Every structure is written in C-alpha cells, then in structure tokens.
Structure 1
Amino acid sequence: MKLIREGAFLTELIFQAELVSSSYRRLKGSADGFDKISVWSDIQSILISSGNISKILWPTWKYRERGEQLRQLLEIGSESVLKSRKIRNRFEHYDEFLDDFFKDKDICSYTDLAMNPSLSASIGGSCHRGYNSYNNTLVIHGETLNLNDIVDAVEQVRLKCKSLFV
C-alpha cells in the first residue's frame, strides 16, 4: 500500500476512534442525567463510528487486499470484536425490523429504548432496544453487545495507528 494512502486510512481510523471515545465519555453523563435522547445519540455514534472502523479493516470483497494489509500492519486478528457489524446493522436497519415485527400482528407487546430497571423487566419479553448503564451493555433484538469491549478494541486500534506516526 502506498505510504500516502496508508496514512490516509490510518488518519481516518484515528478520527473514527476519537469519535467513539468522545461519545463513550458523554454516555456516562447522559445516563447519569437520565437524558434518554443523549444516551441513544451517544450509543448510535459509538455503533456507527466503530462500524466505520470495521468497514475499513474488513471491507467488501473488492477492497479485501487493503483490509488485509491494514489488519496486518496494525496486528489485528480475525477474532477482534470489531469484525462483526451484526448489532450495528440491526440498529441501523431498525426500520426493516419493525416492518418484519409488525407484519401480520393485530395485537402484540412492544417495548423500545428501555433503560436499567425497565430493561430487566422487558428483556425476556419484547424489548427491542435497551441499554444497561450499570454494565454498559446494549440489547437489540434479543442480542447483547458489551460496549466496553467495543470501546477497548477501538482504543487499541487508535493507539496502534498513532504509534505508526512516531
């Protein structure tokens, strides 16, 4: 990979990582202040920016060589939590989930954007999106994502990228 192109991707990875870090710092204050809009804005920002990192490191087939080179340069293995974009995709394509969920239903239970105490009561049932600020986990469509794991992995990418500019 040519040096200027490599530098551009490393710079973008650092930028996206800093967006994740900034949103993560705000998230605690948003949750402590019971600011539901800010909580979900921060979560969405974390998911989108970490998803952008994932797309750079594990791109579509057309750009697979670039992804392989960057992962090798940054020593990122295929077991990285950043590889999967499943939760982010579910969050991003929530409209499709709603269409599928309500298809052919006249009566149903629907809980969305649950937090903390209300989250535990709705997990077994019909909670579609929920955030637990006590352990920083996100529940969406019955699957759980630990935001701490995402933030830690993103920080490692940021530090590795920055070390290459020294």
Structure 2
Amino acid sequence: MPKLTTEVYLLEINRLCEYAIYSVSEMNKSLKNYELGVIDLATFWYYAHSFLSHSSNISKFLWGGKVNFSKLNKVQKRKANLYNDFRKKLRKILEINEKAALKSRAVRNLFEHFDEHILDLTYVDNSVDYTDMCIGKKENFDVDQTRIYRFYDVEEKTITIYDKVFDVSEILGEVYQILGKTKNILEQDGM
C-alpha cells in the first residue's frame, strides 16, 4: 500500500469520523432541549442528516461502490481491482468487521435517491398522510410505518427515513473504533 495514499486516506477517514461524532454531539444537545419541551427541529435534523452523510462517506471510503465489471475496459477493471484491494487491506489494518453496520449501502443509496423517495411518498402514492421530522417514542405516533419520512426514536436511538432504520448508537460505536485506529496509525507515522 502506498504510504502517501494510505496516510491521506486515513486522514480523511479520521476527519469524517470526527464530523460524525460532532454531529451526534449536536443532536444530543438538541435532544436536551426536547426534554425541556423546546426543540429546534431544523437544527436537530441538520445534524442527523450530517451524521448519516458523514457515516455514509466513511462507508464509501472503506468499501467503495458497486462496480459493474462487465461494463469496464481492461484498464478500468485493473484500476477497480487495485482500489478494492487497497480498501480491503485498509479494513484489515483498521480491524473492521465485514458485518459492520457502516458497510450497509442503505444510507448512501438513500441520499443519492432522496428525490425519488419524496416522489414515491407524495406523488406516486398521492397520499397527504406522512410523518416528517418527528422526534419521540414511536409508540406515541399512531401512523402508518410506511408513511414515515423522517423520525427519531428517543428510546431506541434510531433514525428512520422512509423504510430504512439506522441505529445511531451502533454506527457511532463503529465510528469511534475507526477514529481510534486511524489516530493510532497516524500518530505512529508522525502525522
């Protein structure tokens, strides 16, 4: 693995981890206001989206995207294999479990196709009933679970967007582990 590439890659993953952690910290500050009966939903959801976005970018750095090798020429295939091998070695160095929640492409796909989800929710179905930017206990919301746009469950610490549920604690735990590993490696290299 080329040293410069590895260091630059690890620095960026390290930053993304810090951004994701900061986002959850700001979400938690907003939730303290929720407990007091006052909350700025825009601020909370800004940081919730930021957390998911940074987590999905960590995923992209570590697992890359799906590659349709049948559509690639010889040079592109070699490059794709080289990058896949690099990511695999990096995951091994960082001791990342292949069953990690971060590996899921669900959040990446969600943001890449956000417009289509909105159209599906409102245009195709043509229903005016949907739940958006809610925070609370899911049991307190008597809504069709397929009509959830954005919901944060304060007990389960999960973010639901459409039919996708993201466990904030699980993802955050993985982010902290990756942050620790990247910091150790970068410190050893004098970065």
SS at 1:121 equivalent: coil
For residues 153 and 64 of structure 1, the distance between their equivalents in structure 2, rounded to whole angstroms, comes to 21
Q: Is the 8 A contact 2:10 2:182 kept in 1?
A: yes
For residues 23 and 68 of structure 1, the distance between their equivalents in structure 2, rounded to whole angstroms, comes to 27
State the TM-score, normalizing by the size of structure 2. 0.78
Q: Tell me the alpha carbon deviations over residues 79-130 of structure 1, each in whole angstroms, 9 at most, x when there is no partner.
A: 1111002034324532111212334444441221121157632253622210
Q: Rg bigger for which structure?
A: 2
The count of residues paired between Structure 1 and Structure 2 equals: 166
- The match for 1:18 is 18
Q: Is the 8 A contact 2:132 2:150 kept in 1?
A: yes
State the TM-score, normalizing by the size of structure 1. 0.89
Gaps of 5+ in 2: 34-38, 68-79
SS at 2:152 equivalent: strand
Confirm whether residue 56 of structure 1 aligns to residue 77 of structure 2.
no
Gaps of 5+ in 1: none
Matched ranges for 1:5-154 at <5 A = 5-33=5-33, 34-60=39-65, 61=67, 62=80, 63-117=83-137, 120-122=141-143, 124=145, 126-154=147-175
The correspondence for 2:177, drawn from 127, 138, 156, is: 156
For residues 106 and 81 of structure 1, the distance between their equivalents in structure 2, rounded to whole angstroms, comes to 33
For residues 140 and 150 of structure 1, the distance between their equivalents in structure 2, rounded to whole angstroms, comes to 15
Misfit runs of 4+, over 6 Å: none
**CA RMSD, aligned part only?**
2.0
Aligned identity (percent) is: 28
SS at 2:141 equivalent: helix
